[in-house]
Amino acid sequence: MQLDLHYIFEEDGKFIIGYCLEVPEANGQGYTVEECRRNLEAAIELVMEDRAESGLVGLPTTARREVVALCED
């Protein structure tokens, strides 16, 4: 299985602003696209970690948890 994320980069004065269509809470900025991409990917990681922690709140002790890594074949 492959999960594709779509990044959008826009120029805003001297900065590049980036966001991800699938994770709208995450955004990044930088002076270059590469710097912006790194910051955006760090923001996506933080959002996903927060969602994972929030999703566990209130689960019964009998609930089963699995971690699945999606990657390109």
- C-alpha 66/C-alpha 31 separation (Å) is 38
The pLDDT assigned to 60 comes to 93
Domain count, the chain: 1
- C-alpha 71/C-alpha 23 separation (Å) is 17
Answer yes or no: is 42 within a domain: yes
Answer yes or no: is 66 within a domain: no
Answer yes or no: is 73 within a domain: no
Q: Tell me the average pLDDT across 1-11.
A: 91
Greater pLDDT, 3 or 27: 27
For residue 11, give its domain range. 7-56
Residues 6+ apart with CB under 8 A from 4: none
Answer yes or no: is 70 within a domain: no
- C-alpha 67/C-alpha 56 separation (Å) is 13
Name the DSSP letter for residue 66: -
Taking the model in full, what pTM does it have?
Answer: 0.82
